[in-house]
């Protein structure tokens, strides 16, 4: 007896359906699975170990890459924080500077404009500041620090910047007095952050450490600004006047912020 192909296929499908039903409805599927698990376990263990090792290695690479990205991001954050910290430090300095000036009541005495030093030329005794004609700055405006110590006067004025000619500049000279004794003289810049008090009458008795302030005679600077203190006295009977070396009351290395007196 020869079966037709359609019948053959139907018989096969029927057989398979019955086979799977028997497998699923009885415990025989468990037996078959158990048999295959037992013969596969050695190979599975090997494959599992290999897969675990390789995936672990790949994960380590991936983690390494992630860490690199994280490090880059953290570096960026550090840079940002450093910049912010720097800015805050500058603000703190400015704040302290203003507080000191408030303590001695500078703002009541003069009209002031705050400026930052952005450049120094020690060889020429000049400073470059970030205020210029656009900020209402003009030539010869006095420049002081927060302790009312005279630093210099405005020299060349640009639109947004100005040059400050320090009192120690060789071209700088103005009237000054030894404040406690009303002994007057002329301060001359000697260059290199040095000052000389000249034309002091021979009769006047001056001592080391005495404070020198501006006098009102010249009219360039307001009276009473601190210039420095007497460092050395040069007295000679042959000459009609005595001289004194003055130590400026400001430290050129520390000047970062200063005041320009716009009206006095």
Partner 1 sequence: MKKVLILAISLYILTLLQTSFLIHFNIFLNNYWVFNLVLVTVFLISFFASYYQWQGVMAAFIGGFFLDIFSENFFGFYILILVILSLFIKFVLKKYVQIPSIKSKAVF
Of 3, 7, 18, 54, the residue at the interface with partner 1 (CB under 8 A) is: 54
Closest approach, Cβ 34 to partner 1, in A, equals 10
Residue 9 C-beta: closest distance to partner 1, Å: 11
Site string for partner 1, 184-213 (x = CB under 8 A): ------------------------------
Does 32 bind partner 1 (CB under 8 A)? Our answer is yes
Q: Does residue 24 belong to the site contacting partner 1 (CB under 8 A)?
A: yes
Q: Which of 33, 68, 92, 208 binds partner 1 (CB under 8 A)?
A: 33
Q: How far is the CB of 70 from partner 1 (least distance, A)?
A: 20
Give CA separation, 79 vs 44, 73, 85, in Å: 51, 10, 10
Q: Which of 36, 88, 180, 239 binds partner 1 (CB under 8 A)?
A: 36
What number of chain residues touch partner 1 (CB under 8 A)?
Answer: 21
Return the structure tokens found at 25. Answer: 């409805």
Question: Which two structure tokens, joined as six digits, stand for 209?
Answer: 């450490």
Among 3, 52, 87, 104, binds partner 1 (CB under 8 A): 52
- β-strand partners of 144: 150, 259
CA distance 91 to 95: 6
Among 51, 105, 119, 201, binds partner 1 (CB under 8 A): 51
User: To the nearest whole angstrom, how small is the minimum distance from the Cβ of residue 82 to partner 1?
Assistant: 38
DSSP 7-68: HHHHHHHHHHHHHHHHHHHSTHHHHHHHHHHHHHHHHHHHHHHHHHHHHHHHHHHHHHHHHH
Task: Report if residue 90 touches partner 1, rule: CB under 8 A.
Answer: no
d(CA 250, CA 168): 11
Q: Which residues contact 12 (CB under 8 A, 6 or more apart)?
A: none
State which of residues 14, 50, 88, 118 lies at the interface with partner 1 (CB under 8 A): 50
Helix count and strand count (H, E) for the chain: 3, 12
Q: Distance between CA atoms of 117 and 212, rounded to whole angstroms?
A: 25
Lookup result for tokens 């009885």: 26
Q: Which of 10, 31, 55, 67 binds partner 1 (CB under 8 A)?
A: 55
- Cβ neighbour number for residue 113 with a 10 Å cutoff: 18
60 makes contact with partner 1 (CB under 8 A): no
Least Å from the CB of residue 58 to partner 1? 8
Chain positions contacting partner 1, by CB under 8 A: 16, 20, 23-24, 29, 32-33, 36-37, 40, 43-45, 47-48, 50-52, 54-55, 58
């Amino acid at each position: 007896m020869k079966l037709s192909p359609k019948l053959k296929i139907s018989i096969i499908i029927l057989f398979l359906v019955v086979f799977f039903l028997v497998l699923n409805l009885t415990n025989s599927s468990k037996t078959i699975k158990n048999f295959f698990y037992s013969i596969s376990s050695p190979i599975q263990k090997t494959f599992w170990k290999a897969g675990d090792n390789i995936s672990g290695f790949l994960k380590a690479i991936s983690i390494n890459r992630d860490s690199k990205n994280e490090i880059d991001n953290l570096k960026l954050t550090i840079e940002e924080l450093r910049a912010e910290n720097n800015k805050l430090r500058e603000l703190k300095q400015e704040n302290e500077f203003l507080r000191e000036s408030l303590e001695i009541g500078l703002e009541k005495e003069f009209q002031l404009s705050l400026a930052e030093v952005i450049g120094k030329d020690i060889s020429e005794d000049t400073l470059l500041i970030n205020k210029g004609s656009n900020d209402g700055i003009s030539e010869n405006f006095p420049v002081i620090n927060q302790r009312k110590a005279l630093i210099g006067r405005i020299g060349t004025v640009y639109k947004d910047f100005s040059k400050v000619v320090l009192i120690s500049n060789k071209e700088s000279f103005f009237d000054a007095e030894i404040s406690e004794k009303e002994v007057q003289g002329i301060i001359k810049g000697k260059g290199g952050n040095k000052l000389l008090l000249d034309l002091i009458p021979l009769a006047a008795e001056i001592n080391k450490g005495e404070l020198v302030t501006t006098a009102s005679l010249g009219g360039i600077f307001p009276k009473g600004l601190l210039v420095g203190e007497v460092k050395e006295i040069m007295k000679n009977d042959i000459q009609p006047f005595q001289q004194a070396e003055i130590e400026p009351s400001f430290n050129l290395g520390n000047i970062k912020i200063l005041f320009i007196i716009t009206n006095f």
